[in-house]
């Protein structure tokens, strides 16, 4: 460290004193020393050439040393040049006063050369060390700030697409929420991404997301932000708050999915759904995103774009309420079964019944199975409910057999949800339950919808095959409404096909429906299945179905689903009164 080149300023109104110090420093190799005898020039000098050390007399005319320190402090604040006071007074008061003002040291007059030099060197070298330390601290601070900025950016950026991630999006939304321009959101869910992962691996799937996000981003205006909300969900934040414009933008974005995505030699199909929300005022971020997510059309819905509206929310709330209310409903005795007879179209005899679930909630009232079954499937509650339905149905079968009501051709069918068929021990448990109740298998049947079979085909096939082997009839329900494929009824051990009500409803008016019903019946027969038609409401519907060879029918025309006692009464009544005109006679 070279102290000799440091800038030392000596201020003393007594020129002889100043000269003495300047000579002393000069003699000891200091090359940058300066003297001022008029205290009024000190500030100007310091502003121009800030000294590394100020040797300052206290007693001076015009401005004393205290006043100069004041001036310098006001000007330099914390960066005030280090100061040694030159004084003849060393009384306590002076000492306290100057120390309080931040002065580093004192030199007392008359000067002792060695001591003066040592004090000057001490202060300069201490100051030098402070400076070095300050510089290091500053460099460190800058480095930390830069790294923090990098880390911040990283934590807000998705590493694959380099787009903002959820944190980044939240920040953009936070900023937008306090601005006064409105905000519109497009919540974009990518479908089939998991299939791409399965087929091509993660690296291709990553490229795919990168590719599609670039394609989407290029269609947004410069004020919009696109980011990744989840693994297969993107969020576009725009300043547009006009519903039709947002919907047009959404439709334009969906256009990017019309063709398969080209990645090198690969062509990968990808699809998307978009939920839209917007607000023109200050907003709650989570709520706005939730609104867009709520509006997102369901995966299996034909609709691909939907804008938020209050009804959606009410529906959602109702769904949540129901989902909560379902839990424990069987134990609380809120569930019951009703039975709808199935009638042979040839003999008009009762050949069986379908057990249908009813739920009466003390506050929500009667809730249709069409509403609560899908919810119970989604939450898993259907497993317990399904067990309860099986038990309850078996209890009734035992009671009716005791009453001698069931002949050998009579069976009771129970609807089974997809979720139940994913159980590996479904068939085996069902069979042992029948054994416990002493019910021969032929009295029992199952109805399964096609969509239920799709989810875990392998296991469903296994379970159904076990049941078929033991003579439990299995029907495919609602045929024609799902992903209808006759291949199903060939590869799975079905004994019965139930034509959905949708095909029966308009049979009288629609030649196409008549033809369809006819074809389905012929094909079902070709693979050895009986056909039951659902939702028969008129005699002429029954007549037509009989004419095309459909074996059995079920519907309001014969009976609505009835509580167990009413069902028994209905069966007894029908047995004691002659059957109505046969369908053939009605034609």
Indicate the pairing of strand 350-361 with strand 411-416. parallel
Region from 52-60, 282-290, 404-412, 526-534 binding Mg ion, contact rule CB under 5 A: 526-534
Question: Considering the complex, what minimum distance in angstroms separates the CB of residue 435 from ligand C2E?
Answer: 22
How many residues make contact with Mg ion (CB under 5 A)?
5
- Which residue carries 């009501």 as its tokens? 405
Residue 417's binding partner, choosing from Mg ion, ligand C2E, none, with beta-carbon cut-off 5 to 8 A by kind?
Answer: ligand C2E
Q: Rounded CA gap, 263 and 2, in Å? A: 66
Say which residues have a Cβ less than 8 Å from residue 516's Cβ, sequence separation at least 6: 480, 503
Question: Considering the complex, what minimum distance in angstroms separates the CB of residue 412 from ligand C2E?
Answer: 12
The residue ranges that bind ligand C2E (CB under 6 A) are 340, 356-357, 368-370, 373, 389, 415-417, 447, 477-478, 501, 534-537, 554-556, 561
Closer CB to ligand C2E, 461 or 501, in the complex: 501
Token readout for 257 is: 């999915």
Closer CB to ligand C2E, 165 or 415, in the complex: 415
Question: Considering the complex, what minimum distance in angstroms separates the CB of residue 272 from Mg ion?
Answer: 32
Closer CB to Mg ion, 12 or 447, in the complex: 447
- Which residues face 190 on adjacent strands? 272
Q: Rounded CA gap, 202 and 346, in Å? A: 59
Q: Rounded CA gap, 353 and 566, in Å? A: 13
Instruction: Judge contact between 311 and 228, C-beta under 8 A.
Output: no
Closer CB to ligand C2E, 107 or 412, in the complex: 412
Q: Is 52 in the site for Mg ion (CB under 5 A)?
A: no
Helix axis angle for 369-379 and 310-326, nearest 10°, is 70
Provide long-range contacts, Cβ within 8 A and 24+ apart, for 372-380.
372/322, 372/326, 373/417, 375/319, 375/322, 375/323, 375/326, 376/323, 376/326, 376/417, 377/417, 377/418, 377/419, 378/323, 379/323, 379/326, 379/327, 380/419
Closer CB to ligand C2E, 198 or 560, in the complex: 560
Residue 357's binding partner, choosing from Mg ion, ligand C2E, none, with beta-carbon cut-off 5 to 8 A by kind?
Answer: ligand C2E
Closer CB to ligand C2E, 340 or 463, in the complex: 340
Q: Rounded CA gap, 188 and 224, in Å? A: 14
Closer CB to Mg ion, 57 or 477, in the complex: 477
Closer CB to ligand C2E, 220 or 338, in the complex: 338
Question: Considering the complex, what minimum distance in angstroms separates the CB of residue 556 from ligand C2E?
Answer: 4
Residue 535's binding partner, choosing from ligand C2E, Mg ion, none, with beta-carbon cut-off 5 to 8 A by kind?
Answer: ligand C2E
Q: Is 447 in the site for Mg ion (CB under 5 A)?
A: yes
Candidate list 161, 415, 521, 541; residue touching Mg ion; CB under 5 A: 415
- Which residue carries 């008129």 as its tokens? 538
Residue 374's binding partner, choosing from Mg ion, ligand C2E, none, with beta-carbon cut-off 5 to 8 A by kind?
Answer: none
Where on the phi/psi map is residue 582: left (φ > 0), alpha (ψ -120 to 50), or beta?
Answer: beta
Residue 168's binding partner, choosing from Mg ion, ligand C2E, none, with beta-carbon cut-off 5 to 8 A by kind?
Answer: none
Residue 381 backbone phi and psi in degrees, to 5: -65, -20
User: How distant is the alpha carbon of residue 355 from its chain centre?
Assistant: 38
Question: Considering the complex, what minimum distance in angstroms separates the CB of residue 299 from ligand C2E?
Answer: 19
Closer CB to ligand C2E, 110 or 370, in the complex: 370
Start-to-end CA span in the chain (Å)? 118
Q: Rounded CA gap, 120 and 25, in Å? A: 9
Strands, E assignment, 45-91: 53-57, 83-87
Region from 23-31, 452-460, 465-473, 529-537 binding Mg ion, contact rule CB under 5 A: 529-537
Q: List the Cα angle 351/467/523 in 5-degree steps.
A: 60
Token readout for 346 is: 């040839």
- Which residue carries 């959820």 as its tokens? 166
Q: Rounded CA gap, 436 and 468, in Å? A: 19
Instruction: Judge contact between 534 and 555, C-beta under 8 A.
Output: yes
Closer CB to ligand C2E, 187 or 359, in the complex: 359
Closer CB to Mg ion, 330 or 415, in the complex: 415
Residue 164's binding partner, choosing from Mg ion, ligand C2E, none, with beta-carbon cut-off 5 to 8 A by kind?
Answer: none
Residues 203-242 that bind Mg ion (CB under 5 A): none
Question: Considering the complex, what minimum distance in angstroms separates the CB of residue 430 from ligand C2E?
Answer: 14
Residue 373's binding partner, choosing from ligand C2E, Mg ion, none, with beta-carbon cut-off 5 to 8 A by kind?
Answer: ligand C2E
Closer CB to Mg ion, 381 or 478, in the complex: 478
Question: Considering the complex, what minimum distance in angstroms separates the CB of residue 384 from ligand C2E?
Answer: 12
Question: Cα separations (Å) of 202 from 205, 215, 265, 496, 511?
Answer: 5, 20, 17, 43, 51
Say which residues have a Cβ less than 8 Å from residue 180's Cβ, sequence separation at least 6: none
Closer CB to ligand C2E, 359 or 400, in the complex: 359
Question: Considering the complex, what minimum distance in angstroms separates the CB of residue 416 from ligand C2E?
Answer: 6
Question: Considering the complex, what minimum distance in angstroms separates the CB of residue 449 from Mg ion?
Answer: 7
Per-residue binder mask for Mg ion (CB under 5 A), 475-514, x = binder:
--xx------------------------------------
Region from 44-52, 94-102, 112-120, 474-482 binding Mg ion, contact rule CB under 5 A: 474-482
The DSSP H or E segment spanning 196 is: helix 193-200
Name the residue number minimizing CB distance to ligand C2E: 555
Question: Considering the complex, what minimum distance in angstroms separates the CB of residue 503 from Mg ion?
Answer: 11
Name the residue number minimizing CB distance to Mg ion: 447
Question: Considering the complex, what minimum distance in angstroms separates the CB of residue 425 from Mg ion?
Answer: 23
Question: Considering the complex, what minimum distance in angstroms separates the CB of residue 359 from ligand C2E?
Answer: 10
Question: Considering the complex, what minimum distance in angstroms separates the CB of residue 537 from ligand C2E?
Answer: 5
Provide long-range contacts, Cβ within 8 A and 24+ apart, for 397-402.
397/437, 397/439, 397/443, 397/444, 398/437, 398/438, 398/439, 400/568, 401/439, 401/443
List of residues contacting Mg ion (CB under 5 A): 415, 447, 477-478, 534
């Amino acid at each position: 460290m070279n102290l000799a080149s440091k800038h030392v300023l000596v201020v003393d109104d007594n020129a002889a004193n100043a000269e003495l110090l300047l000579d002393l420093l000069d003699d000891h190799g200091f090359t940058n020393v300066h003297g001022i005898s008029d205290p009024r020039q000190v500030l100007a000098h310091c502003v121009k050439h800030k000294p590394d050390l100020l040797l300052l007399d206290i007693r001076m005319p015009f401005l004393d040393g205290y006043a100069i320190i004041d001036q310098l402090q006001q000007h330099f604040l914390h960066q005030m040049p280090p100061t040694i006071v030159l004084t003849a007074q060393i009384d306590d008061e002076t000492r306290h006063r100057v120390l309080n003002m931040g002065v580093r040291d004192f030199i007392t007059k008359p000067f002792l050369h060695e001591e003066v030099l040592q004090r000057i060197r001490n202060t300069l070298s201490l100051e030098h060390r402070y400076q070095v330390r300050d510089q290091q601290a500053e460099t460190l601070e800058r480095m930390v700030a830069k790294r923090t900025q990098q880390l911040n950016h990283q934590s807000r950026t998705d590493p694959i697409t380099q787009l903002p991630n959820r944190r980044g999006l939240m920040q953009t939304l936070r900023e937008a929420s306090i601005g006064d321009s409105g905000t519109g959101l497009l919540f974009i869910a990518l479908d089939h991404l998991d299939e791409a992962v399965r087929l091509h691996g993660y690296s291709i799937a990553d490229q795919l997301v990168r590719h599609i996000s670039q394609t989407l981003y290029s269609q947004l205006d410069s004020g919009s932000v696109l980011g990744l909300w989840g693994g297969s969900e993107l969020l576009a934040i725009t300043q547009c708050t006009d519903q039709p414009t947002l919907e047009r933008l959404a439709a334009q974005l969906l256009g990017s999915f019309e063709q398969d995505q080209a990645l090198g030699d690969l062509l990968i199909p990808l699809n998307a759904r978009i939920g839209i929300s917007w607000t023109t005022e200050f907003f709650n971020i989570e709520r706005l995103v939730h609104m867009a997510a709520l509006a997102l059309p369901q995966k299996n819905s034909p609709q691909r774009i939907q804008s938020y509206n209050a009804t959606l929310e009410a529906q959602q709330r109702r769904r949540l309420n129901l989902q909560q209310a379902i839990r424990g409903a069987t134990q609380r005795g809120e569930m019951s079964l009703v039975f709808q007879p199935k009638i042979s179209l040839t003999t008009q005899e009762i050949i069986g019944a379908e057990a249908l679930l009813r739920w009466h909630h003390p506050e929500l009232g009667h809730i249709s199975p069409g509403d609560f079954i899908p919810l119970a499937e989604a939450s898993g509650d259907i497993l317990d409910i399904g067990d309860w339905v099986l038990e309850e149905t078996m209890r009734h079968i035992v009671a009716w057999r005791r009453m001698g009501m069931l002949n050998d051709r009579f069976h009771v069918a129970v609807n089974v949800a997809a979720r139940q068929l994913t159980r590996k021990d479904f068939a085996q448990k069902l069979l042992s339950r029948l054994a416990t109740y002493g019910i021969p298998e032929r009295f029992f049947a199952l109805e399964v919808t096609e969509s239920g079979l799709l989810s875990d085909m392998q296991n469903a096939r296994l379970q159904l095959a076990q049941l078929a082997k033991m003579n439990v009839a299995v029907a495919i329900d609602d045929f024609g409404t799902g992903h209808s494929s006759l291949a199903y009824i060939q590869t799975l051990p079905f004994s019965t096909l139930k034509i959905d009500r949708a095909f029966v409803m308009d049979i009288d008016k629609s030649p196409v429906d008549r033809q369809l019903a006819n074809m389905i019946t012929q094909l079902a027969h070709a693979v050895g299945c009986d056909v039951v038609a659902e939702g028969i409401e008129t005699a002429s519907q029954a007549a037509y179905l009989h004419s095309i060879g459909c074996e059995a029918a079920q519907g309001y025309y014969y009976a609505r689903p009835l509580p167990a006692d009413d069902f028994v009464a209905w069966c007894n009544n029908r047995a004691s009164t002659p059957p109505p005109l046969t369908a053939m006679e009605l034609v």
